[in-house]
A and B are shown apart, each in its own frame.
Chain A
Amino acid sequence: MTKKLLEVQDILVNFGGVTALNKVNLHVNEGEIAALIGPNGAGKTTVFNIVTGYYTPTSGNVIVDGESVLGLRPYKIARKGLGRTFQNIRLFGDMTAVENVATAADSLNKSGLVGSLFGVPRSRRDETASMEKAHELLKFIGLDHRALQMAKNLPYGDQRRLEIARALALNPKVLLLDEPAAGFNPQEKVELGQLIRKIRDRGFAVLLIEHDMSLVMDISDRVSVLDFGQKIAEGNPGEIQNNQRVIDAYLGVAEDAS
């Protein structure tokens, strides 16, 4: 049986009187690219905010690699293996690209401030390790030539990819991508698809929120569909494309679409 790296169990979220998520169940298997789709406002980003600990659900449970992370502070959940990107890019603008990635890499070592001040051997080792890892990830993502530029000065596409590199620095068990293809042209979308596959092949499971259906259907192993806070379908891309409820709620009827 495949191992479930992330499980969202019966998550119920009420914001005031509004039910943002109604008993949603999701999971991400080891070595898989899972996708989460649905109309705007369906609750996709809320799922990310729940699993990363930003919101606490009204009821339900979140399990990362067999361990419940419910109620943990976001930084602890991040260290347990969830790295995320953001729908609207949120980099550390006044830091260089490599510092952005190193900041996330830092959080996996235990070096403290006093050790850094006096330069104890462990802190030196951790410092080198963080920087090397950051450079290696930038290379992996194809941004090594941007390492010493400020994040805010990077072109849009590079900023999106830098966010992915930063999330990967956490050695995530599951990488959560929130609309990574937003604002990309078709060529860039193809490259992004290849990159996500490359990330999966490197051993990271991926949970993808995306509106670009050709990308989703192309790279996903499994697709879940949210509508008004309810999961209305789940299956492989072929099943989802032919699911009547999904077509009604989200995909619509193909008229002139390719």
Chain B
Amino acid sequence: MTKTTKSSFNLRTKFGDWWEGANSAQRTIFRVVLIGLFFALPMLNNPIINTPETSFYSVLFYPLIMFSLMAVGLNVVVGKSGILDLGYVAFFAIGAYTQAVFSNRTSLNFWETLPFAMGFAMLAGVILGLPALRLRGDYLAIITLGFGEIVRIVAVNTEAIGGSSGLTDIEGPTAIFGMEFTVNDPRPYYWLTLTMLLLVIWGVIRLSHRKPGRAWEAIREDEDVAEFMGVATLKYKLWAFIIGGAVGGLAGAIYASQIRSIQPELFTLNLSIMILACVVFGGMGNIWGVILGAVILGYIPEKLRFLSDYRIVFFGLLMVVMMNIRPNGLLPRQKREKFQEKSK
């Protein structure tokens, strides 16, 4: 991942060649080192990557790893299946609110609540998807946009879940594997999210290489033809929504348990757009690309804090320039083609 991330097109091919030729021991070592590096990231007190004016630990948790997790979830919908979803924040909000409400009203702990947070987000995916996915393109995008806003506005207007002042006193996760989740230290949350992210990546890659992945790609390439070729397009689009929703709900639940109090203003359209930007900026449809996009788009504003208010201008400028240089994203999806001689 990181090796390819900063690389040019060429380096990527070289890495691909190496990976193809590597035996399973070499691949395992590469994976372990890479994953180890990410787990060790909060320990490395490196002045180059540290953020000067914000706690680096906090930045690692939010936005970096949170954006990455959400971007990977949204990528299943937008990048794999080609469904433009402008309301992804809704799933994040549902996960966060489920966590908050269960924490305040029930005796269930974080781990017991997590399946509910993901489950409700998945259910929301079905409820939104069943009517919306019959439409396409612009119309579908507008419906998802509306859905994102509806969830936030319902939260603002429902006193039972705190109205506009939101919910407080959300419990953190109970200790697991000797890891304590305290208010002051974001690192365990980072490790928790990283672990979840790895699981999600594992699942998404498995699906991508099998029947569901082919069905999603076919839908993205030409939905009518996919249908003519026997693909149950509505079912697979719905699955994309459900999986994207589950990942969004997961992210929301962890987020709520870390910041301990949530308000509807945390879940505005801005966040949906930001995550979508991560996906597009990194490279739609390529899981490593969208993670790179999330890391860069999350990191740069923090690094630029010395510019104070001008940093957003600079950030916008950078996106415009980058999208002109690499219109398909930093690491566009790309299949490795193989050329063979014709056999007679």
Bound-state CA distance A102–B230 (Å) is: 11
Bound-state CA distance A127–B224 (Å) is: 23
In the complex, which of the residues B211, B233, B335 contacts A96, with contact meaning CB atoms closer than 8 Å? Answer: B335
B222 near A149 with CB under 8 A, answer no
The reply to whether the CB of A9 lies closer than 8 angstroms to some CB of chain B is no
Contact flags (1/0) for B326-344 with A, using CB distance below 8 Å?
0000000101111111110
CB-CB < 8 A to A69: which residues of B? none
Query: Given A116-B211, A126-B211, A130-B211 in contact, is the A54-B224 Cβ separation under 8 Å?
Result: yes
Bound-state CA distance A206–B233 (Å) is: 26
Q: How large is the interface on B (under 10, 10 to 19, 20 to 34, 35 or more residues)?
A: 35 or more
In the complex, which of the residues A91, A111, A144 contacts B211, with contact meaning CB atoms closer than 8 Å? Answer: A111
CB-CB < 8 A to B336: which residues of A? 148
Query: Given A74-B227, A170-B229 in contact, is the A92-B217 Cβ separation under 8 Å?
Result: yes
Bound-state CA distance A169–B230 (Å) is: 10
The reply to whether the CB of B102 lies closer than 8 angstroms to some CB of chain A is no
The reply to whether the CB of A225 lies closer than 8 angstroms to some CB of chain B is no
The reply to whether the CB of B221 lies closer than 8 angstroms to some CB of chain A is yes
CB-CB < 8 A to B66: which residues of A? none
CB-CB < 8 A to A104: which residues of B? 229-230
Q: How large is the interface on A (under 10, 10 to 19, 20 to 34, 35 or more residues)?
A: 35 or more
Query: Given A94-B333, A149-B338 in contact, is the A52-B228 Cβ separation under 8 Å?
Result: yes
Greatest chain A CB density within 10 A among B231, B233, B239 is at B231
The reply to whether the CB of A108 lies closer than 8 angstroms to some CB of chain B is yes
Bound-state CA distance A148–B336 (Å) is: 8
Bound-state CA distance A148–B228 (Å) is: 23
Contact flags (1/0) for A137-166 with B, using CB distance below 8 Å?
000000011111110010000000000001
Bound-state CA distance A176–B201 (Å) is: 40
B215 near A106 with CB under 8 A, answer yes
A95 CB → nearest B CB, Å:
5
A232 CB → nearest B CB, Å:
28
In the complex, which of the residues A90, A108, A116 contacts B212, with contact meaning CB atoms closer than 8 Å? Answer: A116
Query: Given A90-B225, A93-B221, A113-B207 in contact, is the A103-B337 Cβ separation under 8 Å?
Result: no
Bound-state CA distance A34–B50 (Å) is: 71
Bound-state CA distance A70–B333 (Å) is: 39
CB-CB < 8 A to A93: which residues of B? 221
The reply to whether the CB of B124 lies closer than 8 angstroms to some CB of chain A is no
B195 CB → nearest A CB, Å:
18
A95 near B211 with CB under 8 A, answer no
Bound-state CA distance A104–B222 (Å) is: 13
Bound-state CA distance A113–B233 (Å) is: 13
Query: Given A94-B335, A149-B337, A149-B339 in contact, is the A108-B221 Cβ separation under 8 Å?
Result: no
CB-nearest residue of chain A to B233: A75
CB-nearest residue of chain A to B203: A117
B218 near A92 with CB under 8 A, answer yes
CB-nearest residue of chain B to A144: B343
The reply to whether the CB of A252 lies closer than 8 angstroms to some CB of chain B is no
B225 near A86 with CB under 8 A, answer yes
CB-CB < 8 A to B229: which residues of A? 75, 78, 83, 103-104, 107, 166-167, 169-170
- Identify the 4 closest CB pairs spanning chains A and B, nearest first: A107-B230, A148-B338, A92-B221, A78-B230
- Since A75-B231, A102-B214 are in contact, a sample of 13 more A-B pairs with Cβ atoms closer than 8 Å, ordered by chain A residue number, is A54-B224, A74-B227, A75-B233, A90-B225, A92-B221, A92-B222, A95-B214, A103-B218, A106-B215, A107-B229, A107-B231, A116-B210, A123-B210
Taking Cβ atoms with an 8 Å cutoff, the residues of A that contact B are 52, 54, 73-75, 78-79, 83-84, 86, 90-96, 99, 102-104, 106-109, 111, 113, 116-117, 119, 123, 126-127, 130, 144-150, 153, 166-167, 169-170
